[in-house]
Structure 1
Amino acid sequence: MTKNIRELSEFTQRVAQEAGAIAMGGFRNRDLTIDLKEDFHDMVTQYDRSCEDHIRAAIAEAYPGSRIIGEESGEEPGNGPLAWHIDPIDGTSNFARGMA
């Protein structure tokens, strides 16, 4: 691995905070777009997608070759030593209803 565990920890914290700021832009937003995946309990918002896109881009830049599995946009295979699983907003139903 090209970077040590401390750098990895600092990276994940920074990117999580950035994604959190994106998500908070949509919290209790009246213009929230909600799409259904499988049924009315399984929803996704534009903020889920924006957060995941941001996280994916940050990983690709900092850790090229990583395998990325995202809840919203599926798997991107990689040949590097790291695999990342992304659930951008855990609790989208509550998020979409403006519940903390």
Structure 2
Amino acid sequence: MTRPHSYDGWFIGAVKRAKVQEITPHDLRHTGASLAISAGANVMALSRMLGHKDKSETLNTYADLFDDDLDRVANAMHKRYEAVTPCQNLVTEPDKIDKAA
């Protein structure tokens, strides 16, 4: 397929016929890359697919979009290390947590 024209090309026509919000091919690329990173895709492979010279360009552009990614990292680490002997200084009882703070 030929590259779509900005105002009257095949892609714009398809979007209008689909009766969805205005969107561009670049928007779809951005969304796809962001979702792939959020899902844990291999950044090196994604970077190559997107044509970036190195992975830092991919990460700088797409990796900061999902606030809940930090929660997922924390949860994954908790699940991985919860069976390990807990830190001796760790306060786990709710009434003692307020006093420790």
Q: Which structure's residues are more often helix, by fraction?
A: 2
TM range (shorter): under 0.3
Compare relative contact order (CA 8 Å, sep 6+) and give the higher one, 1 or 2: 1
Which of the two has higher C-alpha Rg?
2
What TM-score, normalized to structure 1?
0.28
Between Structure 1 and Structure 2, the one with more strand by share is 1
